[in-house]
Structure 1
């Protein structure tokens, strides 16, 4: 899966009941997970014994988990919970019908767009697992490190930019619909300021 080496492939079912029991989940937590997820399968283990890469100081291996979803409009909280329950570095392949997306948790849940499952690929770039994992996170987040930022700092900057962009979109919609010149001017001025704020991020 994901174009990873055949040596990494697994097909190990991860029963939800086992997760519920191991982490002592209460009834409400079980119901939330059961509402979104039908099946969990470990499909790849990427480790030094399976690929020609050196262990990193922080990352020695990672797993790819296929999560079969019951609904496309799943709760991100459920995916966050799953990511945080399993104490491993995880790439989650979220599949609904014939579409899938990749998700990874790094300070927040990062996701790709929906695609055909066969079109989802991950490239192992780097000399050791620390660098490879960093590049995996960047690939899934769809971003690059800028101005010497650390990975976590870049994620925070991108999150702030995205929040501002959404606010700009909302204000632009309001400005287009606004009939009163004075109010329209105020909205346009606010949009201009927010666009300048985005340029300030480094």
Structure 2
């Protein structure tokens, strides 16, 4: 799967009942997971022994899990819950019918677009598993990691950029509809201020 080396392949089912029991989940939380997910299978283990990449300071090994979804419009909070419950770095392949998307949780849930499920390939780039994992988060999150910026900082900057973009669009629409010159001017000033902030990021 994902064009990863054969040595990394596993087929280890993660029974949902075991997850519920281990984390003593209440009925509502169980029902949420049950309504979105039919099964979870660990399909790859990326470790120094399997890919000949040195372990990192933070990441000693990570896994790829195939999550078979019951519906395409799943609740993202379910995927966040699963990611937080499993105490491992985990790349999720969310599969529905003939389509799939990649998801990873790192300070927030990041996902790719839906694609034909066999069209994904994952590049293991980096000299240590810390770097490889960082590159996977960047690939899935579809952002650029600037030199001298940590992964967490870059994610926060990227989030801020998206929020500013949305707010600029919202104010722009208001400014177009506004009839009063004074109000229109105030909106234009707000837009310019936000654009200035966006330019700094």
| TM bucket normalised to smaller | over 0.9
Of 178-187 and 104-113, more deviation after overlay is shown by 178-187
Q: Which residue of 2 aligns with 1:55?
A: 55
Once the two structures are TM-superposed, the CA of residue 179 in structure 1 deviates from its matched residue by 4.2
Shift of the alpha carbon at 1:18? 1.2
Distance in 1 separating the partners of 2:157 and 2:180: 35
Q: Secondary structure at the match of 1:49?
A: helix
* Structure 1 unpaired stretches of 5+: none
In structure 1, what is the Cα distance between the partners aligned to 2:62 and 2:169? Answer: 37
Shift of 1:200: 1.8
Shift of 1:190: 2.0
**Structure 1 residue 195 corresponds to structure 2 residue 195:** yes
- Alignment partner, residue 159 of structure 2: 159
Residue-pair matches, total:
201
Q: What is the aligned partner in structure 2 of residue 94 from structure 1?
A: 94
Query: Using the alignment, how far apart are the partners of 1:168 and 1:68 within structure 2?
Result: 38
Unaligned runs of 5+ in 2: none
Shift of 1:83: 0.3
TM-score, normalisation: structure 1: 0.92
Matched, 1:76 2:76: yes
Tell me how far apart the structure 2 counterparts of residues 49 and 82 of structure 1 sit (CA, whole Å): 26
Which TM-score applies when normalising by structure 2? 0.93
**Structure 1 residue ranges (4+ consecutive) displaced by more than 6 angstroms after TM superposition:** none
Which residue is equivalent to 2:135?
Answer: 135
